[in-house]
Amino acid sequence: MESVNAEFLLRLARDKSMAGRQELAETISDLFLGNTQTLSERERALTYDILSQVIHDVEMGVRRNISKQLSDKPGAPHDLVLMLANDDIEVAYPILAYNKVLQDADLIEVIRHRTLEHQLAIAIREDVSEVVSDALVRTGRERVVRTLLENANAAISSSTMEYLVEQSRRIDSFHEPILNRGDLGPDLVQRMFMWVSAALRQYILDTYEMEPDVVDDLLEKAALEAIGTPSRPMGSANKAQELVARLADDDAVSPELLVTLLQEGEIPLFMTMFQRLTGLRERLVRRLVFEPGGEGLAIACKSAGLGKAIFSSIFTLTRKARPGADKATRRDIRHVLNLYDHMTEESARHVVRRWKRNVGYLAAIRELEVSTVGHA
């Protein structure tokens, strides 16, 4: 067609026959696919106005095509773009993901009233503002929040980031995208250090500047919080040691006793017995027993010759011993059991010997993990 004719388009829009629908679809497609002459400003405005009136009568395929054509048009009329943004996701996606005409208020309304797919499309936009990020986080949908965190261009307020860091205590899938963001403050990094996996702890040490003393203090704090009590008074510690020594003399120390002590809530006595069994320092025992992930615990149990069933019970029970902590997830259990299965007792003992010399706790875990993965 040579030029835009308003009466012609309106007549087609009113024609409900199959032939009329088809001709309208072809005409609109020609306009937006560039199969006609370049539109003047007046013709473009006229076309947009007509489209706004007939858009809901146009078949899905044509609406989808129009949406694609308008996705990178900064001059598209707001009302038309907004209608497309609230359409089915097949139509709305290009507009929500790429169009710059939509304002924050428009996006927030879509987030509140449309589907998960609409929210995901908004989460990948190049220009997500703090208020839009807040609205996405308020959906409470893990997949939406994770997509937002993975968007390096999304602006996230400090208060919202602090909230998400706290949420990452129970939502593992938030760990990596949060730590990969460039706007994460050092205080939040230190907070996450206490509950991410050993591999991510090593990533934190490699990426962020943290003094070894700070790291030790954080892990010590995590262990003390886990058992819900400060370090035992010397007298109490001596009594536990004396009891364990008597049990050892009577050959009463057994792997099954370790599990029984945990089941009965005798955490301090378990810690003393485990310390004697592994030969590790008390502070390090608290760390590896109660830290998230359980990699250090797997190594210590393997080095001491504790069987897989005993280790699995100890791992599960020590997770329960953390006040307010979630139980170990199936994924946590699969991960540490896989590590336990693929390491040898000799490799585990080698790591424990390094720990006894106070050498590279996290680095030793990481090296063993890498070696076991390589031989899996």
What are the tens digits of pLDDT across the range 245-283? 565 554 556 788 888 888 887 888 888 888 888 888 887
**Whether the predicted pLDDT of 86 surpasses 50:** yes
Same domain, 157 and 243: no
**3-state SS of 129-187?**
CHHHHHHHHHCCCHHHHHHHHHCCCCCCCHHHHHHHHHHCCCCHHHHHHHHCCCCCCHH
Same domain, 179 and 272: no
Q: What is the pLDDT of residues 114-124, one digit of tens each?
A: 999 999 999 99
Counted domains in the chain: 2
Same domain, 367 and 274: yes
pLDDT of residue 22: 66
Same domain, 225 and 299: yes
Cα(109)–Cα(105) distance, integer angstroms: 6
Specify if 200 maps to a domain: no
Cα 68 to Cα 82, 90, 113, 140, distances in angstroms:
14, 10, 22, 29
pLDDT of residue 366: 61
**Secondary element (H or E) of residue 60:** helix 60-70
Specify if 201 maps to a domain: no
Q: Which residue has the higher pLDDT, 97 or 34?
A: 97
Place of tokens 């078949």: 59
pTM over 0.85: no
Same domain, 30 and 177: yes
User: How buried is residue 362: exposed, middle or buried, by Cβ count under 10 Å (0-12/13-18/19+)?
Assistant: middle
Which percentage of the chain shows pLDDT scores above 90?
Answer: 26
Specify if 339 maps to a domain: yes
Of the pLDDT bands very low, low, confident and very high (cuts 50, 70, 90), residue 324 is very low
Specify if 196 maps to a domain: no
- 188-205 b/e with 16+ CB inside 10 Å = b? bbbbbbbbbbbbbbbbbb
**Whether the predicted pLDDT of 376 surpasses 60:** no
Cα(129)–Cα(228) distance, integer angstroms: 40
Specify if 206 maps to a domain: no
Same domain, 163 and 218: no
Of the pLDDT bands very low, low, confident and very high (cuts 50, 70, 90), residue 103 is very high
Q: What is the pLDDT of residues 192-222, one digit of tens each?
A: 877 776 667 767 777 777 666 666 666 656 5
> In terms of residues, how long is the chain?
376
pLDDT of residue 21: 65
Q: Contact at 8 Å (CB) between 218 and 286? A: no
Same domain, 259 and 323: yes
Q: Contact at 8 Å (CB) between 347 and 371? A: yes
User: How buried is residue 9: exposed, middle or buried, by Cβ count under 10 Å (0-12/13-18/19+)?
Assistant: buried
Q: What is the pLDDT of residues 168-200, one digit of tens each?
A: 888 888 999 999 898 888 888 878 877 776 667
Angle of CA points 190, 210, 285, to nearest 5°: 70
Q: Which residue has the higher pLDDT, 125 or 30?
A: 125
pLDDT of residue 89: 95
Same domain, 137 and 278: no
Residue 1 in 3-state DSSP?
coil
Residue 125 domain boundaries: 6-184
pLDDT of residue 150: 95
Which of 142, 168, 184 is at the close of a domain? 184
Specify if 198 maps to a domain: no
Cα(157)–Cα(302) distance, integer angstroms: 44
CATH number for position 77: 1.25.10
